[in-house]
Amino acid sequence: MTSTRTPTVRPPAPEPIAAQPRRTFLGLNREALFLAVPALIPVVIFSLYPLLRGIYLGFTDARAGRDLEFSFTGLDNYATMLGDSYFWESFRIGLVWAFGVTILQFFASLGLALLLNQRIRMRWLARTLAIVPWAMPQVVIGIMWRLVYHPNAGILNSVLKDLGVIDSNVEWLTSLSLALPAVIVVGVWAGMPQTTVVLLAGLQSVRTELVEAAAVDGANAWQRFRAVTWPALRPVAFAMTTLDFIWNFNSFGLVYVLTQGGPGGATRLPLLFAYEEAFRYGNYAYAAALGNAMVIVMAVFVVLYLRRRLKEAD
């Protein structure tokens, strides 16, 4: 029915976006498809395929060698893995490392992000300096921290002795008990910028007038944080913590340069272990199986964590 009156009436409220009827392909209408698909083409070739192949190798007996054929062996690698005490040890170390670094990293970065969000002088400088660990190439980080931890020529021992905290040189990276904590500190140091930047970006979506309103209502800083800031920050914080945990568990380069898994295997993370299997002994299949095992364990943690968070969010 056509109306002859000039349209002063408001256009109808837009349909809720989530429910798109008609002409959908895998749930997306055409325009959505256009938006999403271009990104996905190279992804399939250069990411999905190698990933799937890497995963598949974990079920074979592939080894290094020219023109070597390999065959499907099902779950053989996993049976071996279950009996491999070195694997379990590296797994334990990986969990200690991942939890340690992720938790410390999160709280440290949150504090820093809150500070960097405020109006301070030379804020651009403070923010830029905060990402130095990120900007430094990993090989340099490894060498530098090794020198910091050096028993007699390193600045850590030197400063601690000057402050009177210790009276003789501590062997940070070579003591069986101190190596993992020492390495965790470096992990936190190296991972802080990423988390800080992400949290800082997330803090920008906090509605400032709500914070002001809360302040006017007499709420102190902690109450303001809990009531206004944190709810807005939560999705980003959870996403980032999950990713950080995954990345930390999968961490390789940093610890490799620092300690190569020593002393006595005290810092041999799961991925160092898998790396050695693949690149030193040529056991591609076993290494891939280790990778698969790590994926499954990570997936379990992630699912449990996210489920708990989602429950709490409700």
Partner 1 sequence: MKSIVRRATVVTAAMSTGLVLAACGAGDSSGTDDGPVQLTFQALAFQPESIEANKEIIEQWNADHPDIQVEYLQGDWASVQDQLVTAFEGGTAPDLVHYESSYLQDFADRGWLLDLTDMISDEMKDDIRDGAWDAVTFDDSVYAVPFLLDAQVIFANKALLDQAGIEVPAPDDPWTWDEFAEISRKLSDADTYGVAWTLKDPANRILNLALNFGGEFFTESDGASEVVFGDAEKEVLQRIHDQLYVDQSAAPEAIGMGGSDPLPGFFDGQYALLPKGIWFRQQIMDQAPEGFEWVTIPALKGESQTQAAAPQTVSIAAETEHPEEAMAFLEYLLNAENQATLAKGDWMIPASEGAAENEVLTETPDWPVAAASGAILEQAPFQTVRGYEEWKNKVANPAIEEFFANSLSMDDLGSKLVDEGNAILERYQR
Partner 2 sequence: MRVLRSLSTPGKYVALIAYLVFLAFPLLWLLSTALKTPPEIARIEPTIIPENPTLENFRVAFEQQPIARALLNTVVVAGTSALITVVLSIPAAYVMARYRSAVSRLTMLWVLLSQLFPFILVIIPLFLVLRNAGLYDTQLGLIIVYVVWSMPFALWMLRSYVSGIPVELEEAAAIDGAGKLRALREVVAPLLVPGVVAAAMFAFVSAWNEFLFALVLLRTPELQTISLTLVKFIGADGVARLGPLAAAALVATIPSLVFFAIIQRRLVGGLLGGAVKS
**Contact set with partner 1 (CB under 8 A):** 31, 34-35, 37-39, 41-42, 45, 64-68, 86, 139, 150-153, 169, 171, 173-176, 260, 262-265, 276, 278-282
Among 89, 253, 305, 309, binds partner 2 (CB under 8 A): 253
Helix/strand/coil for 40: helix
Q: How far is the CB of 80 from partner 1 (least distance, A)?
A: 10
Q: How far is the CB of 220 from partner 1 (least distance, A)?
A: 47
Question: Taking CB under 8 A as the rule, does residue 201 contact partner 2?
Answer: yes
The radius of gyration of the chain from alpha carbons, rounded to an integer in Å, stands at 26
Adjacent-strand bridge partners of 270: none
Classify the C-alpha dihedral 78-86-268-303 as positive or negative. positive
Cβ proximity to partner 1, 189 vs 284, nearer residue: 284
Question: Taking CB under 8 A as the rule, does residue 191 contact partner 2?
Answer: no
Residue 126 contact among partner 2, partner 1, none, beta carbon within 5 to 8 Å by kind: partner 2
The answer to whether 174 and 263 have CB atoms below 8 angstroms apart is yes
* Interface with partner 2 in residues 46-65 (CB under 8 A): 46-51, 53-55, 57
Q: How far apart are CA 242 and CA 301, in angstroms?
A: 9
* Interface with partner 2 in residues 218-237 (CB under 8 A): 232, 235-236
- In whole angstroms, what separates CA 91 from the centre of its chain? 17
Site string for partner 2, 72-111 (x = CB under 8 A): ------------------------------------x--x
Helix/strand/coil for 25: strand
Q: How far is the CB of 214 from partner 2 (least distance, A)?
A: 11
Helix/strand/coil for 48: helix
* Interface with partner 2 in residues 116-135 (CB under 8 A): 116-120, 124-135
Residue 26 contact among partner 2, partner 1, none, beta carbon within 5 to 8 Å by kind: partner 2
According to DSSP, residue 276 is labeled I
Classify the C-alpha dihedral 188-190-194-200 as positive or negative. positive
Q: How far apart are CA 224 and CA 86, in angstroms?
A: 49
